[in-house]
Structure 1
Amino acid sequence: MGTDRAARAFIGSFTTAGGRGVTVAAVDQETGALSPLGSTAAVANPSFLVSSPDGSVLYAVGETSDGRAAAFDITGPEPRLLGEPVPVDGAGPTHLALAAGHLLTANYESGSVTALPLRPDGGPGPAASVLAHHGCGPDPDRQREPHAHQVLADPSGRWVVSVDLGTDSVRVCELDRQTGALRLHAEAALRPGSGPRHLAFHPDGRHAYVVNELAPTLTVCRWDAGSGVLEPLGETAVVAHGVRGEIYPSEAVVGHDGRFLWVACRGHDSIAVLALDETGEEARLVTGVACGGHWPRDLTLDPSGRRLYASNERSGDVTWFAIDAATGIPALAGSIEAPAASCVVFC
């Protein structure tokens, strides 16, 4: 099954907007083309997915007001639920990650992060702890309260990082492996009104890049895993100077060799290409290319790092691109229909 799993992708989507739930697709190893094999709507709005390190279990959030988290056994031809979806004791979970024997969810509507211990079969158990965020930002419509949008483990595995759009900050927490307790360690303040959404680490483990939803920019940060401190260094635009209109960046991914970074820009419907210098502390906008659809909610690199996949939520498709190794510029190579697509995960 190892070879089969490596040749499959899983597409998350919003079932309340016509999505099919979790779609399984075969991956052509030569071209990167996706071919849908089937789908399951066993979980409502599985908007974000992550797989276990061995590729045997797929985890999904249920992005609803009574937020849930679920696990699927994906060792067979079709995903099989590992028990009923578990409440996360938070509303509108948008993201999840694995850390220290727990499944973590970022709950956007309630502005919190939840830790759920993993059972022996890999499924999540009842919530062990919920860490509530506090604060607000200057945008009266989007930042009246906390909105945790992403949670992930840092490359060292020692820290849990959560990105909050409502408070213009990134929190660094400790997670107790035994009890599942989350404890706030530090908080990095970003520019007021920037609306940080997602963070991506550099392969060197010493730098991180935060994509800002309320300002079309990327914040370059220095990361110290020893002290658990994130230090913002500056912002870089992700669209050319003078570009106007509705632009809401959604996701950033860093190339495996750390030379390039790509940002999905909703509204502008583009993928920004940024070059990173040798230090990792300077990002330069190279160009932008059309995403091949409308409202790119997520970007994903395939395991080889040679192809980039965009989940275009409002046009209902997933597009893929071949990346030029010298310039980092993606070239559109294909697409498939995927109603209300929200993410792609390779297992």
Structure 2
Amino acid sequence: MSLRFWLAVGLVDLVTAANIFVSHYTGTVQSLTLKESGGGYTLVSNGSVNVGGQPSWMTYDRDTRTIYNTDETGFGSGILTAVSAAPGGGMSLSGKATGVMLGGVHSTLYGPGYLAVAHYQTSSITTYKLPLSSSLRVQETLTFRMNSPGKIPSRQDAPHPHSVFPDPTGNFLLSPDLGADQIRIYSINKSTGRLTACASYISQPGSGPRHGTFYGDNILYVGNELSNTVHKLSVTYPSGGCLKLGFQQSLTTIANNRTLPSGSKVGEVHTQDNFLYVSNRRDLSFPPNDSIASFSLDEMGNMKFQQITSSGGTYPRTFAINKAGDFIVIGDQTTANVVVAKRDPATGLIGAQVASMRIGSTGRPENDDGLSAVLWDD
């Protein structure tokens, strides 16, 4: 055989394989490869690295191929870790900071080299100047308080920031607060990474905003954990002022608006092309499994319920759509399995599940165990 032939074979292998990162509450981060062979697909493990704590979220810096892991540990001392991900799938622990505030559930990169972390348990947001090392110290701590419990006291006894993310301009940082029913907004000083509070957006009582995703520059969709709804919010930038949000639309994430089992709650929201996707945890729409709901978006960004499909397991805490838009990966927390399904980029419809793989130990409903997060390496 000619050298050209073998180079072509190698090229085919490259374009028919994709890597996926997975974190598990037992303290591991793992790399998987989705491989196509004979018209079928399999998930293959490339190995894992032990980062310690209870890694709840992965933030991926694609430029440096670094995965930052928050720690949801609720006692003792929290940590922040960094994992270097080699293009071929190898992984190694490249940074670790100790003495971090407890209950880190989400993080984001912002500005020129900063990381922000939302701490659900301790009602706080902390920020850090990267790179991450053992000498890393908190740059800024924002701690929140409430005068009285919210509409659902069992979940809204205190402020509970559940995520943090920058706006499309990179000038503002937003944080949905499940406990306080608001979205906190901060302007970013790009020279120092420090945050200045703007007026918060006040959500509907008992909605419990958890996760958000921008659609263009002027629309934000927010998944509400407690009301099982997704809200469409307008985004405006008054001259010389703070980013402002305005309510425009609300839809349930449950097909036919049926009565839900106790403990049902929205997880993540993502947009891809002209479509919006939301994970439903413990809705049991496909007993015993849960679901992913999808919405089509018109030219104004208005939502229309389109489809509900099985998540392939229980408690789909996170999911991600690849850059090409033809696959979705779902991280089912309680059943601790990674599910990959096809997606039609033109229609937005999620199709057949093509691969599933158990990762580590299974979890228990309503507990911080099992599989915690998934993302594509693309």
Q: Do the two structures share a fold, i.e. TM-score over 0.5?
A: yes
The number of equivalent residue pairs is 334
Paired residues of 1:295 and 1:313 also in contact (CA < 8 A): yes
1:222-237 equivalences in 2 (<5 Å)? 222-225=234-237, 227-237=242-252
Tell me the C-alpha RMSD between the 2 structures. Answer: 2.3
Match of 2:232 in 1: 220
Match of 2:357 in 1: 336
Match of 1:102 in 2: 114
Q: For the residues of structure 1 that align with 2:41 and 2:32, how far apart are their CA atoms?
A: 11
Deviations 1:176-211 (A, max 9, x none): 334342221120011000111100111x22101100
1:242 positional shift? 2.4
1:51 positional shift? 1.1
1:52-67 equivalences in 2 (<5 Å)? 52-65=61-74, 66-67=77-78
Q: After superposing the two structures, state which structure 1 stretch, 40-49 or 144-153, moved more.
A: 40-49
Instruction: State the AA in 1 paired with 2:23.
Output: G
Q: 1:155 to 1:253 in 2, by over 3 A?
A: same
- The answer to whether 1:156 aligns with 2:176 is no
TM-score, scaled relative to structure 2: 0.82
Structure number, greater radius of gyration: 2
Match of 1:184 in 2: 197
Deviations 1:241-279 (A, max 9, x none): 223213201011101x2x111110000111111111111
- The answer to whether 1:92 aligns with 2:109 is no
Paired residues of 1:128 and 1:179 also in contact (CA < 8 A): no
Instruction: State the AA in 1 paired with 2:296.
Output: A
Instruction: State the AA in 2 paired with 1:22.
Output: V
Q: Which runs of 4+ in 1 moved over 4 A?
A: 29-33, 121-124
Q: For the residues of structure 2 that align with 1:242 and 1:313, how far apart are their CA atoms?
A: 24
1:99-248 equivalences in 2 (<5 Å)? 99-100=110-111, 101-119=113-131, 125-135=136-146, 136-202=149-215, 204-225=216-237, 227-239=242-254, 240-246=256-262, 247-248=264-265
Match of 1:274 in 2: 295
Instruction: State the AA in 2 paired with 1:129.
Output: E
Please, which of 251, 254, 260 is the counterpart of residue 275 of structure 2? 260
Greater relative contact order (CA < 8 Å, ≥ 6 in sequence): 1
Q: Which runs of 5+ in 2 are unaligned?
A: 1-13, 284-289, 361-369
TM-score, scaled relative to structure 1: 0.89
1:327 positional shift? 3.3
Please, which of 13, 34, 45 is the counterpart of residue 54 of structure 2? 45
Q: 1:327 to 1:124 in 2, by over 3 A?
A: farther
Q: 1:73 to 1:64 in 2, by over 3 A?
A: same
Q: For the residues of structure 1 that align with 2:347 and 2:65, how far apart are their CA atoms?
A: 35
Q: For the residues of structure 2 that align with 1:260 and 1:94, how far apart are their CA atoms?
A: 26
